[in-house]
Amino acid sequence: MKDTTRQYRDGEVIFREGDASLAVFVVRKGRVRLVKSGAGGGVVLATLGKDEMFGEMGILDGVGRTATAVAEGAVSAAVVPRRDFLDRLQKEPDLAYRVMLKLVERLRAADERLARAAPPDALPQAVTAEPDPPASAPDPAPADAAEDARRDAPAKAGLLTRLFGRNKGEAAEPPPPQGPLKVLIARFSDAPPEAAALLETLSATLQLIPGALVRRLDEAVAWPEGVTDPEAARLAAAQAAAALLASRGGDVLVWGRYETIGHLLEVRVAAAAAPHELRLGRVPPVGGVFVPMEAMVEPLPALIRAMTVAAALAEGGRRDAEIFACLADDVLAAAEGLKRAVAGLAAAEQAAAMVAWGCAAALAAGGPEVPEDLWALAAKTFDEAARRLPRTARHDWADVFIGRALLECAHAERGGAAPPPPATPWDGPADGLRLALEGVRREERPWDWALLNERLGLIAYRQALASGDEAHFKAALAHYQAAIQVYTRAEFPQKWADIVSALAQALQVYGNLLASVPALERAVELSRAALEVRTEESAPLLWAATQNTLGSALFLLAKRRDDAENFQAAADAFRAALGAYQVNGQARPAAIVEKNLARAEEACRGRARRDEKRAQPEWADGAPREDVP
């Protein structure tokens, strides 16, 4: 085979996923990493060494590159043109057989790696890019750069199709739908025989959710006996409902009881909760619908469907477009006549329905064909629910304020109208979450307490960026430090790394604003600690974001100290982040980090020129000297 040899630097991309397949490569020296893009970033399919071939799949099947090839260290590779490679395969059956065996082996290994690849943990919950930093600081890359959608070009029949009976393009299609939305209905506690017809209507109502698989259970959710505090009893029952759902494997559980005093059917929901996240649209235990025994009339069926779908979309993380459209329709339908439908109920029962509708509306707001004023109507409904709750219902109050604050956060992130200066779009969410924190005690609800502090840290950081107020920076640091008291590295390493990375970023910006060397040193320390947990293999985009924070802190520290070593370390961190973003097709953060890298490399060169000039003797610049003959 005719071939040429090419040289590649460490981290250099040899070809990218989606590029045209024009040649086959054979490693002559060094190592090459093959990376496949996915929902959580890149998945390393294989690392190849001397004499191993790569790039053959696209040649054989006539499609674009199915992965990105990146040099690990200095690499020398032979490049064999497509036509030459195919000619030799046709002339040498033994070679074709060996290539096929190796390809099957690699495909099997890749399938196993893709199956093990974890979904993104997340950052955090939908954080948008921050405003530009001071001109003297490198630009911080968005910590949650969204994955660009990448789709393979339509595949045409190639050698793989003839051998295995399918197109490579078929393997590269997006994953199949998530399957039906599994809605379980628990037996309602204390329900009399005459409630049977109402429960049948409830089941039929839930069947109208697109793609829902509704199943009734024999088990009931047990309400605690001997607990006189209604709020405490409901919280305990909600925990029992979550346990029942987990044991039966559904997406959402509709449960409740017969309320004997008012002759009402109390309907509530529990979802397969997203661990350790505060998600928009989450339906707390206080949310529910009280249905009169006489009949279930609109808008109550629409409200029950909206509450059920919101719980599944928010906590379960589903993104089914058809189900989301159903949510929006039911939210709008339930808005008409909601007050009239609950007018005859007790204040706490009215509040429960308003919380359920507010959570569903918060999730639907901002969607296509949804009125813009739905944001304001949802916020107003949360406020009305809070006014109807008894002052002693501390947990319920906290959950209402959490729901309203998450709504305001989402509205601000999606470009809602900003208040006039000096106020910021984040002031309202901050006030709501601080009120929620007053009702959530660490010893009672440690995870919620920590999550509220984490979210308050993020909001205070955004307030600081918008206003430049040192007090907001200090608040952000305090809230993040409180959160890691619960989310420790030993017990929750990934969550700990998320919070510590955010704390490092806040310290980096704060240290630059105040010219504080100790703050910058702490930012470097925390970034390096987070990188001991976050790895390029497990979470490449989060790893890259932390590398960029590390590089920014090192760069600023080097400027304060005129330190060549830190300038070089900053360039190394930026280079690592840039490689990860490029491999994963993240053009926007890659452009930001590339600019940061250019600044760091220029600083390194400038420092080297100054060192060289200082090292020269006085006569080296060519000036005449009296003592030189």
Q: Is the peptide bond before 299 cis (omega within 30 degrees of 0)?
A: yes
Q: CA–CA separation, 473 vs 469, rounded Å?
A: 7
Q: CA–CA separation, 129 vs 548, rounded Å?
A: 14
Is the model's pLDDT at 345 over the cut of 60? yes
The end-to-end CA distance of the chain, in Å, is 66
User: Which pLDDT belongs to residue 170?
Assistant: 35
Tens-place pLDDT, residues 308-329 = 999 988 865 555 678 888 899 9
Place of tokens 């000039």: 613
Give the model's confidence band at 38: pLDDT under 50 very low, under 70 low, under 90 confident, else very high: low
Is the model's pLDDT at 95 over the cut of 80? no
User: Which pLDDT belongs to residue 609?
Assistant: 82
Is the model's pLDDT at 330 over the cut of 70? yes
User: Which pLDDT belongs to residue 260?
Assistant: 85
Tens-place pLDDT, residues 62-79 = 677 888 888 888 999 999
Q: Where are the domains of the chain?
A: 4-116, 181-417
Do 574 and 547 contact (CB within 8 A), yes or no? yes
User: Which pLDDT belongs to residue 317?
Assistant: 54
Q: Supply 290's token pair.
A: 């009280």
Do 24 and 87 contact (CB within 8 A), yes or no? no
Tens-place pLDDT, residues 520-573 = 999 999 999 999 999 888 889 999 999 999 999 999 999 998 888 999 999 999
Q: Is the dihedral of CA 129, 135, 139, 140 positive or negative?
A: negative
Is the model's pLDDT at 617 over the cut of 90? no
User: Which pLDDT belongs to residue 353?
Assistant: 97
Q: CA–CA separation, 625 vs 628, rounded Å?
A: 6
Q: What CATH architecture does domain 4-116 belong to? A: Sandwich (2.60)
CA distances from 320 to 124, 178, 326, 332 (A): 21, 8, 10, 19
Do 487 and 276 contact (CB within 8 A), yes or no? yes
User: Which pLDDT belongs to residue 318?
Assistant: 59
Residue 569, CB-side half-sphere exposure with 13 Å CA sphere: 17
Is the model's pLDDT at 100 over the cut of 90? no
Give the residue with greater pLDDT, 151 vs 601.
601
Concatenating the DSSP letter of every residue in 455-489 gives: HHHHHHHHHHHHH--HHHHHHHHHHHHHHHHHS-T
Is the model's pLDDT at 173 over the cut of 60? no
CA distances from 439 to 148, 230, 270, 445 (A): 40, 16, 22, 10
Tens-place pLDDT, residues 151-160 = 233 333 333 3
Per-residue buried b or exposed e for 374-410, using 16+ beta carbons within 10 Å of the residue's own CB? bbeebbebbebbbebbeeebbbbbbbbbbbbbbbbbb
User: Which pLDDT belongs to residue 208?
Assistant: 93
Give the model's confidence band at 108: pLDDT under 50 very low, under 70 low, under 90 confident, else very high: low
Give the residue with greater pLDDT, 102 vs 496.
496
Is the model's pLDDT at 615 over the cut of 50? yes
Mean pLDDT of all residues in 277-300: 90
Q: Mean pLDDT in the chain?
A: 82
CA distances from 571 to 269, 555, 593 (A): 51, 8, 10
- Residue 236: which H helix or E strand, with range? helix 230-248
Tens-place pLDDT, residues 234-279 = 999 999 999 999 899 889 999 999 988 889 999 999 997 666 888 8
Give the residue with greater pLDDT, 323 vs 106.
323
Do 78 and 5 contact (CB within 8 A), yes or no? yes
Percent of the chain's residues with pLDDT above 70: 81
Q: CA–CA separation, 287 vs 352, rounded Å?
A: 4
Taking the CB of residue 468, how many other CB atoms lie within 10 A of it? 12
